[in-house]
Structure 1
Amino acid sequence: MDISDRSYPTLAEATRVWVRIAALSFGGPAGQIAVMHRIVVEEKRWFGDDRFLHALNFCMLLPGPEAQQLATYIGWLMHGVRGALIAGVLFILPGVIAIMALSWVYAIWGDVGLVAGLFFGLKAAVLAIVLQAVFRVGKRALKNDAMRAIAALSFIAIFAFGAPFPLIIAVAALVGWSGAKAGFAAFAPGGGHGSVDGSHIADADSLLGKEVVAMPASRRRGALIAGLVALMLWLLPVGLLLITVGPGNVFTDIATFFSKMAVVTFGGAYAVLAYVAQEAVGTYGWLEPGEMLDGLGMAETTPGPLIMVLQFVGFLGAYRETDSLLGGTIGGLLATWVTFAPCFAWIFLGAPWMERLRENRALSSALTAVTAAVVGVILNLAIWFAIHVIWRQVFRIEAGPFSMELPVLSSLNWAAAILSALAIFALFRLKLGMTTVLAATAIAGMALYLAGFA
């Protein structure tokens, strides 16, 4: 049937629902997708389960935050380009406002008493949450020895040799693609992509052909034009900065670095944060290791995609370079712009042909291998966080291409170690919710500060 024949809501009604979803979009992509499913599928019945999961599978193929892209794609299915823009923008708007406000607070009062204690506590929860992400993604992605080998080698590459995240993704994709072309069973598509509850989503064969919707030619043309405009709006500011102020300027560096991240952010925020931390802390000197954890704590406790932490990184980088809150604001908004403008481009350019993309077995196999590599990358992130949360000092071992950061064991921070262990216990054994654990550790952090331990 034609998509225009569906009984979708009016644009005004859909907008009200997207505002509601945006306000409830806490807890990372799994929680955000679950909220979207409950409202769009179960409550409003605008889509069936098959169509919703098919759309999610498509978004899993794209770089960028899948929950935001899923909202954008569903908005496009119902109301074309206008619907996509409303859904996609509203999904990130609360996070943009909240992270910017918290960035100002952090810049002005971050070293003040209770605020420092609050972020001390949040670091422990963030460490536990990232460890939980390793187990969740690994459980569904590492289905055979080949996937486990890719994860292990990816971890070694980034932890011991400092391999760039884009290179790891490219090699994993090539291995998966080649394995599928060679007919190896271990690289059969369908493994490694997530679902509403973190379990394995049905593969393309079980979804294709169900609730298939014909796409009007006018809708395809509109999406193509919108995709090209999104590409222009993304690349034009980057080009202008390169021409006018040149490389080496903080704003140019922010624009180019986060534009590169927008192309390779497969696997969500946790996967790319290891590389962002590596570059932002080590190469550009925009922030300290502990501050990266503070930013992720902000993103965990505010609505919107976790990748919004990049706005905090851009803010601090520009704030430190310009010694100005205005400069920091511009840097944060610039990082957000070049992170999310490509997300709209990928949806508009790919959505009309999503059925064909899902049928491409080699592409699906490449993404399966990429997801396995992401497990190793997230494990590296968890260890990197643990080193900088639980120990006060670190040292680096270097020998040729080998480069590894290790903690000074005597610098153990007992308060941080105990709080982190309690957060891990609460998430893994007590099965407490992420919001509960974040709130508890934040309160504990402030109490430890008042007691003189933080």
Structure 2
Amino acid sequence: MNESANGDSRPCYTLWQMTAYMFRLGALGFGGPVALVGYMHRDLVESRKWVSEADYKEGLALSQLAPGPLAAQLAIYLGYVHYRVLGATLVGVAFVIPSFVIVVALGWAYVRFGGLPWMQAMFYGVGAAVIGIIVMSAKKLTEKSVGEDKLLWAIYAALAVVTVITESEIAWLFIAAGVLVWFWRAPPKWFQSGRANALTVTQLPVLSSLYATADLPLLWQIAAFFAKAGAFVFGSGLAIVPFLYGGVVTEYQWLTEKQFVDAVAVAMITPGPVVITVAFIGYLVAGISGATVAALATFLPCYLFTIIPAPYFKKYGKAPGVVAFVDGITAAAIGAIAGSVVVIAKRTIVDTPTAVVALVTIVLLWKFKKLQEPVIVIAAAVTGVIVYPLFPH
């Protein structure tokens, strides 16, 4: 068993205490994944000393290395540190449940009141602000993860162009990018892709049992699609946005482009992981069953990619080949985010006011580094309510 922060092999907190903390963080934690992982370090390492600095850093490294929403994956790992699979499971559920409930409630309100002028006006402003937020998120991710590496820049640019042209995501290109960088930087002496492929494939049988008694080709489609999307959330929760757009708007046509942008906006104004937007999308497609299946299918890969490699991560996590593979996939994911900005903006920036809202959002986030996205989204909603009636639509 790992040592606790005070050097004892026994944890200085109960599983209930850790679960309650993560539930509260999931309910009140605004600011996106970087802010959430910062709160965990401040509270659990520095203040309460429940988790050692070493365990926290290992969890953060694994969360950045493996696919999955960063904050949720770190929460699951911290639950695993002293209480293993049971801890990881309870902590993961506690972290996600609050934002899930909030998003489903917003989905209900959206379905019931979405045709009303005040809600149309609200999302008119919010949708434009979301474009600005994604632009700045893509900028930060690019600077942090791509840097000055020419090969990563080439991958980034290629995925951005492909996303703009096809208006969808091609999953095998992400894997190809990882393999390319792996072979370029650290040509392997051995090859273990069979293990990784087996892990990905085994997710679907588990998902298929979740709603065996429900009706449903549609829920099966939702489960399969969101499981695939959840397995490719590299770099940031926003990495799932282009995947979702290609599936729910272009391929399956479950949502209109406007509904999709509204779904991303909902994720921006709620606490917890950005990826929880999948529950809102699932609700619009198939009600509460759709929301539940979409959320479970998306977070199951994140859960598996944490608890399965956790025991081996200390040994292999820093291997050059593993690091190179993840760098390649991350560059591809961020390039896809950049491309999705163009695709979504073409449908969202429809007139001068929406263009102004998007530009003001970019300027504010650029100038005020600590300004939180929910504040901007709420201001944009108010702006939309005021401006929308003044322009014909």
| Same-fold call, TM cutoff 0.5 | yes
Q: Which amino acid aligns with 2:378?
A: A
* Amino acid across the alignment from 1:158: T
Q: Which of 60, 66, 69 does residue 65 from structure 1 map onto? A: 69
Q: Secondary structure at the match of 1:89?
A: helix
- Deviation of residue 176 (structure 1)? 1.4
Q: Deviations over 1:402-450 (max 9, x none)?
A: xxxxxxxxxxx11111121111221112443222211211111111135
Name the residue aligned to 1:226: none
Instruction: Identify which of 151, 171, 185 aligns with 1:166.
Output: 171
Query: Structure 2 matches for 1:302-451, cutoff 5 A?
Result: 302-318=270-286, 328-391=287-350, 413-431=351-369, 432-451=371-390
- Tell me the TM-score normalised to structure 1 length: 0.77
In 2: Cα distance, 1:135 partner to 1:112 partner: 35
Identical-pair percentage: 27
Q: What letter corresponds to residue 342 of structure 2 in structure 1?
A: I
Provide the residue aligned with 1:296 in structure 2: 264
1:301-355 C-alpha deviation (Å, 9 max, x unpaired): 111211111112222222xxxxxxxxx1111111111112232222221111111
| Cα distance in 2, alignment partners of residues 315 and 49 from structure 1 | 39
8 Å CA contact retained: 1:95, 1:302: yes
Q: Alpha-carbon deviations, 1:91-121, whole Å to 9, x = none? A: 1011110110011111110121211111112
Is 2:129 aligned against 1:156?
A: no
Separation (CA, whole Å) in 2 of partners of 1:181 and 1:97: 44
In the aligned structure 2, how far is the partner of 1:120 from the partner of 1:303?
Answer: 21
3-state SS of paired residue (2:309) = helix
Contact 1:254 1:335 in 2 (8 A): yes
Give the equivalent residue in structure 1 for 2:38.
Answer: 34
Is the 8 Å Cα contact of residues 76 and 92 (structure 2) preserved in structure 1? yes
Name the CA shift for 1:314/1:7 in 2 (closer, same or farther; >3 Å). Answer: closer
Deviation of 1:65 after TM superposition, in Å, equals: 1.0
Pairwise CA distance, 1:173:
0.9
Shift of 1:124: 2.0
Please identify, of 340-349 and 145-154, the stretch whose mean Cα deviation from structure 2 is larger: 340-349
1:96 is aligned, of 94, 100, 115, to: 100
Asked if the contact 1:231/1:342 (under 8 Å) is kept, the reply is no
2:324 counterpart letter in structure 1? S
User: Aligned pair 1:129/2:129, yes or no?
Assistant: no
Alignment of 1:230-309 (within 5 A): 233-237=206-210, 240=212, 249-309=217-277
How far off its partner does 1:68 sit? 0.6
Shift of 1:233: 4.2
Give the letter for the 1:381 counterpart: S
C-alpha separation in 1, matches of 2:180 and 2:111: 44
Aligned residue in 1 for 2:124 = 120
**Paired residues of 2:60 and 2:74 also in contact (CA < 8 A):** yes
SS of equivalent residue, structure 2 residue 253: coil
User: Could you tell me which amino acid in structure 2 is paired with residue 252 of structure 1?
Assistant: W
CA offsets 1:343-387 (integer angstroms, 9 cap, x no match): 222222111111123132201101011111122111012112221
CA contact (8 A) 1:100 1:332 kept: yes
For 1:67 and 1:152, locate their aligned partners in 2 and report how far apart those are by CA, in whole Å: 27
**Secondary structure at 1:359's aligned position in 2?**
coil
- In structure 2, do the counterparts of structure 1 residues 138 and 2 end up closer, same or farther at CA, with 3 Å as the change threshold? closer
Q: What are the ranges of 5 or more consecutive residues in structure 1 without an aligned counterpart?
A: 184-228, 319-327, 392-412
Q: Which structure 2 segments of 5+ residues have no match?
A: 189-201
Q: How far is 1:135 from its partner?
A: 0.9
- The change in CA–CA distance for 1:245 and 1:94 in structure 2 (over 3 A counts) is closer
Q: TM-score, normalised by structure 2?
A: 0.88
Q: Across the two proteins, how many residue pairs are aligned to each other? A: 376
SS in 1 for 2:29: coil
Q: SS of 1:76's equivalent?
A: helix
Please give the alpha-carbon distance, in whole angstroms, between the structure 2 residues aligned to 1:231 and 1:276. 18
In 1, distance between residues paired with 2:215 and 2:272?
Answer: 32
Query: Which amino acid is 1:251 matched to?
Result: L
* Alpha carbons 1:131, 1:379 under 8 Å: kept: yes
1-side partners of 2:283 and 2:95: how far apart?
A: 21
Alpha-carbon distance in structure 2 between the residues aligned to 1:2 and 1:104? 43
Structure 2 vs 1, CA of residues 331 and 5 (structure 1 numbering), >3 Å: closer, same or farther?
Answer: same
3-state secondary structure, aligned to 1:237: coil
Q: Do the aligned residues in 1 keep the contact of 2:168 with 2:246 (CA within 8 Å)?
A: no
Quote how far apart the aligned CAs of 1:164 are. 3.2
Q: Deviations over 1:276-310 (max 9, x none)?
A: 11221111111111111111111111112111111
User: Cα deviations across residues 54-81 of structure 1 (Å, max 9, x unaligned)?
Assistant: 2111112222212111101101112223
Corresponding residue for residue 150 of structure 2 = 145
SS of the residue 2:51 aligns to: coil
Q: Is the 8 A contact 2:62 2:306 kept in 1?
A: no
| CA distance in 2: counterparts of 1:357 and 1:118, whole angstroms | 48
CA contact (8 A) 1:270 1:381 kept: no
- In 2, are the aligned partners of 1:100 and 1:329 still within 8 Å (CA)? yes
Aligned-residue offset at 1:88: 0.7
* Correspondence for 1:13 among 1, 17, 20: 17
The RMSD of aligned alpha carbons is: 2.5
Name the amino acid aligned to 1:316. L
Query: Secondary structure of the residue that 1:264 maps to in structure 2?
Result: coil
Contact 1:315 1:330 in 2 (8 A): yes
Equivalents in 2 of 1:230, 1:10: separation in Å? 30
Inter-partner Cα distance in structure 1 for 2:97 and 2:72: 11
